[in-house]
């Protein structure tokens, strides 16, 4: 098995839109990714490629004060094999190198797998955003301090 994390390109967008739809039942959409990749200087998007297929991605916004995880998934058939940790570690390293003081993210309050993973990497519960998602599940905001 050959794998790499690399920058997302415009050509990857259709695969990511399909992947998000499979995993989350919804997607940020082609236009959003297109404008993120072509217009947003604070956007950093990376794909996980395994044997030349796109199997996951992580998107970040990084400015001077703050980094935020926009979205993150690993395809079902490749979950629980360490790829999530690898991609998250990569994102944290990038933020450390950018000297940004903190990373935040939102996660569904019942997404135990993701919450465990974030806790493992030092993210701490900050506060709740009530009824944040379309189905009215609350979001937990988690923060990792990099100072």
Ligand X SMILES: CC(C)(COP(=O)(O)OP(=O)(O)OC[C@H]1O[C@@H](n2cnc3c(N)ncnc32)[C@H](O)[C@@H]1OP(=O)(O)O)[C@@H](O)C(=O)NCCC(=O)NCCS
Residue 74 CB: number of other CB atoms within 10 A?
Answer: 24
**Minimum CB distance to ligand X, residue 61 (Å):** 14
109 is catalytic: no
Tokens of 63: 């400015």
Strands (E), the chain: 3-7, 43-50, 53-62, 67-74, 102-108, 124-129, 139-145
Binding part of the chain for ligand X, among 27-35, 83-91, 93-101, 123-131 by CB under 6 A, reads: 83-91
Provide the β-strand partners of residue 140: 107, 128
> According to the binding rule CB under 6 A, does residue 134 interact with ligand X?
no
Q: By CB under 6 A, what part of segment 23-82 binds ligand X? A: 23, 72-74, 79-82
Q: Considering 26, 106, 109, 130, which one is annotated as catalytic?
A: 106
Annotated active-site residue 77? The verdict is: no
Start-end of H helices in 40-130? 83-97, 112-120
Catalytic residue numbers? 106, 118
Interface positions with ligand X (CB under 6 A): 23, 72-74, 79-85, 107, 111, 113-114, 116-117, 120
């Amino acid at each position: 098995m050959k794998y790499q994390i690399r920058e997302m390109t415009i050509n990857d967008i259709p695969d990511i839109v399909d992947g998000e739809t499979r995993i989350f039942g919804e997607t940020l959409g082609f236009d959003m990714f297109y404008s993120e990749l072509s217009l947003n200087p604070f956007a950093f998007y990376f794909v996980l490629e395994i044997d030349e297929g796109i199997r996951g991605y992580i998107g970040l916004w990084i400015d001077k004060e703050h980094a935020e995880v926009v979205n993150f998934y690993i395809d079902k058939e490749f979950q629980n094999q360490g790829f999530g940790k690898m991609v998250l570690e990569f994102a944290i390293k990038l933020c450390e190198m950018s000297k940004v003081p903190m990373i935040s993210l939102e996660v569904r309050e019942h997404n135990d797998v993701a919450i465990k993973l974030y806790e493992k990497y030092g993210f701490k519960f900050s506060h709740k955003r009530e009824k944040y998602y379309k189905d009215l599940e609350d979001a937990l905001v988690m923060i990792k301090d990099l100072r």
